[in-house]
């Protein structure tokens, strides 16, 4: 399957397409963006270092082999603290804004209560991002410049994949701070390396989650399912197993590949990238088995 060049041209996106898509897999990284608008930094009450703690830093690099494996890859260039593409479009705290709102906001969610709506209210350390209220017109501006281009393109990639292969698997790639890597375990000294989120079985066929878990465990990594991350807006929107559209969220412990305090890659980042490349190859094979019709036997 070939793609229209226009998909790669939006300034808010890093969309890397294979010369020809050979497997029914799409890879996305909604939180690895690090392009901070100057106007946003001028509004911020916290330093850039505090904002950057929300990034899934270098995750786009860990999955960079996707196009060479015949898979389209999309990453947001905008940072998560500016627009969170893994939230509903109007999942926002109305108290953040000044002026007439564009429509009623979905503010009764645990994520909004925590300050982590589509436009986050707080940084990763819990400090308020903004000095005061944000102009209400900011909502539509950021939706139109960032959120909508990301999801229009991702939706198109998934639907083109489905049309060509009769099914699609979306790998939604994330990272988690090491401070969160013991959540969901009884042994607080037991670090979790990988969390697989399939929305408690609602977002993808069990074969995909099981294949990913086997791959990581065979490499000596500790894996949990759905704790503490079962998946966000992306798994809920794009994961429709009954319609042959599957989504699996993957959270990688940042301490495996980066110095979190310095925001720098560790020397082992290449090793982790090779593990993720092997994962994509494994998921491609599983997608062929699960989604593609069986090949007819050759005549005697």
Predicted local confidence at residue 187, as pLDDT: 52
Share of residues in the chain with pLDDT > 90 (%): 89
Q: Please tell me whether residue 50 adopts helix, strand or coil conformation.
A: helix
Predicted local confidence at residue 8, as pLDDT: 58
Which residue in 94, 118, 96 sits closest to 234, CA to CA?
118
Which residue in 43, 34, 40, 53 sits closest to 123, CA to CA?
53
- How far apart are the C-alpha atoms of 189 and 192, rounded to whole Å? 9
Residue labelled with tokens 């999942």: 91
Q: Per mean pLDDT, which range of 135-139, 176-180, 272-276, 296-300 is the poorest? A: 296-300
Q: Name the pLDDT band for 190 (thresholds 50, 70, 90).
A: confident
The average pLDDT across 276-280 equals 98
Q: Contact, 28 vs 172, CB < 8 A?
A: yes
- How far apart are the C-alpha atoms of 23 and 71, rounded to whole Å? 6
The average pLDDT across 68-86 equals 98
pLDDT at 133 over 80: yes
- How far apart are the C-alpha atoms of 4 and 47, rounded to whole Å? 39
Q: Contact, 71 vs 284, CB < 8 A?
A: yes
Predicted local confidence at residue 246, as pLDDT: 98
Reported pTM: 0.93
Which residue in 16, 56, 72, 77 sits closest to 280, CA to CA?
72
DSSP 135: E
pLDDT at 197 over 60: yes
Residue 289's alpha-carbon distances to 77, 211, 282, in angstroms, are: 33, 11, 11
């Amino acid at each position: 399957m070939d793609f229209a060049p226009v998909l790669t041209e939006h300034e808010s996106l890093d969309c890397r397409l294979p010369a020809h898509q050979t497997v029914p897999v799409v890879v996305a990284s909604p939180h690895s963006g690090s392009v901070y608008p100057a106007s946003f930094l001028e509004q911020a009450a916290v330093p850039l270092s505090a904002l950057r703690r929300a990034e899934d830093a270098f995750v786009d690099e860990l999955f960079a082999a996707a196009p060479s494996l015949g898979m389209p890859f999309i990453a947001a260039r905008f940072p998560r603290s500016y627009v969170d593409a893994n939230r509903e479009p109007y999942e926002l705290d109305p108290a953040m804004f000044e002026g007439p709102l564009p429509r009623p906001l979905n503010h009764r969610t645990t994520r909004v209560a925590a300050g982590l709506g589509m436009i986050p209210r707080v940084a990763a350390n819990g400090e308020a991002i903004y000095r005061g209220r944000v102009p209400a017109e900011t909502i539509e501006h950021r939706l139109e410049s960032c959120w909508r281009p990301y999801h229009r393109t991702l939706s198109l990639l998934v639907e083109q994949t489905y049309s060509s292969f009769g099914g699609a698997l979306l790998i939604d790639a994330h990272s988690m701070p090491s401070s969160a890597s013991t959540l969901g375990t009884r042994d607080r000294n037991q670090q979790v390396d990988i969390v697989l989120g399939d929305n408690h079985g609602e977002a993808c066929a069990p074969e995909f989650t099981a294949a990913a878990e086997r791959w990581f465990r065979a490499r000596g990594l500790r894996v949990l399912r759905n704790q503490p991350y079962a998946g966000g807006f992306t798994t809920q929107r794009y994961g429709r197993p009954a319609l042959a559209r599957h989504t699996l969220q993957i959270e990688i412990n940042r301490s495996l590949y980066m110095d979190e305090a310095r925001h720098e890659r560790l020397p082992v980042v290449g090793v982790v990238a090779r593990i993720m490349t092997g994962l994509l190859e494994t998921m491609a094979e599983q997608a062929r088995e699960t989604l593609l019709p069986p090949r007819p036997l050759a005549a005697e």
